[in-house]
């Protein structure tokens, strides 16, 4: 479990760093979502860690936003 904690914290740091490229942050967001979903399904930290480690972005799908994903990463276009 300690390893999973470090992995998820690392992804959260990437996701929260607004100086990083948008694509990098979106990948981190999807990794967090996949990990959360895997844990929710079986309430297993082992399954969650395996899902995180196995996650590979689908190259042909690109990085289109999925429902509920952050689009602006803190940038409010309506200010």
Fill in the DSSP letter of residue 55.
-
**Looking at residue 79, what is its pLDDT?**
42
**Looking at residue 59, what is its pLDDT?**
40
**Looking at residue 60, what is its pLDDT?**
40
Six-digit token pair at 40?
């929710």
Reduced DSSP (H G I as helix, E B as strand, rest coil) percent helix, strand, coil of the chain, to 5: 60, 0, 40
* List of the chain residues with pLDDT < 70: 1, 56-79
Contact present, 63 and 26 (Cβ < 8 Å): yes
Taking the whole predicted model, whether its pTM rises above 0.75 is answered as no
Six-digit token pair at 8?
């998820």
- CA distances (Å), origin 37, targets 17, 19, 40, 44, 51: 23, 27, 5, 11, 9
């Amino acid at each position: 479990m300690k390893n999973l904690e470090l992995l998820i914290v690392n992804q959260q740091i990437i996701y929260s760093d607004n100086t990083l490229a948008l694509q990098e942050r979106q990948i981190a967001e999807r990794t967090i979502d996949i990990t959360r979903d895997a844990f929710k399904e079986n309430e297993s930290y082992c399954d969650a860690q395996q899902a995180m480690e196995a996650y590979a972005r689908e190259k042909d799908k690109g990085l289109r936003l999925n429902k509920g994903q952050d689009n602006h990463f803190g940038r409010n276009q309506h200010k």
